């Protein structure tokens, strides 16, 4: 499938990027998220310069991603422990019933 050209706007600047048609929605959402994060940094700090704002936004988004991945891993570990405990309880209850 041929790539499409998409115009996105980040901090009042327009960028043209190519993507596959099925990735369009995700790219638009990503651009919106980046724009919001960069605007938040620009409004809430004394950081000057688009490049510095972009680096800070990238660091913030990377931190959010790592925190989310860590949380998901902890949730998976807790789920595995609960499943193991459930299996042991079933075994004990089954032994008691016999």
Q: How many domains does the chain have?
A: 1
- Sign of the Cα torsion 17, 22, 28, 34 reads negative
pTM over 0.85: no
Give 25's pLDDT tier (boundaries 50, 70, 90).
very high
Which residue segment(s) compose the domain that 13 sits in?
4-97
Measured from the Cβ of residue 70, the count of other Cβ atoms closer than 10 Å reads 10
- Sign of the Cα torsion 42, 52, 58, 12 reads positive
43: CATH: 3.30.160.880
Yes or no: say if 90 and 75 are a contact pair by the CB < 8 Å rule.
no
**First vs last C-alpha separation in the chain:** 62
Give 78's pLDDT tier (boundaries 50, 70, 90).
confident
Round to whole Å and give the CA distance between 17 and 74: 36
Round to whole Å and give the CA distance between 72 and 66: 10
């Amino acid at each position: 499938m041929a790539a499409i050209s998409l115009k996105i706007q980040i901090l009042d600047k327009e960028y043209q990027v190519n993507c596959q048609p099925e990735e369009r929605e995700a790219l638009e959402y990503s651009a919106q998220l980046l724009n919001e994060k960069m605007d938040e940094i620009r409004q809430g700090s004394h950081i000057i310069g688009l490049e510095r704002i972009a680096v800070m936004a990238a660091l913030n988004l990377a931190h959010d991603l790592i925190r989310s991945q860590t949380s998901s891993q902890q949730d998976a570990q807790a789920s595995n422990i609960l499943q193991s405990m459930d299996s042991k309880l079933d075994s004990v209850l089954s032994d008691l019933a016999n």
